[in-house]
Amino acid sequence: MAQGHVPLLDEVLAVPTANRPTKELSPGMMIFDTTLGKPIWRSLAGGWVDATGSVV
């Protein structure tokens, strides 16, 4: 594996908003928020955003 690359996961974590992960997170990490019914990504600022860049 090339340095700086992260292996892709075979599965996506799907959790309700209240159970979003809080540890060992990297910017760009994606999860499926079952409360919102959509995928969201960890932002550089440390929060979560949807595909439009809106904080969720």
List the chain domain ranges: 29-56
pLDDT tens sequence across 1-56: 456 666 666 688 999 999 999 998 999 999 999 999 999 999 999 999 999 999 99
Whole-number pLDDT of residue 9: 61
Whole-number pLDDT of residue 7: 63
Whole-number pLDDT of residue 24: 87
Whole-number pLDDT of residue 1: 46
Do 20 and 31 form a contact (C-beta atoms < 8 A)?
yes
Whole-number pLDDT of residue 49: 98
- pTM value surpassing 0.75: yes
The dihedral sign for the CA sequence 31, 23, 28, 48: positive
Q: 33 by DSSP, 3-state: which?
A: strand
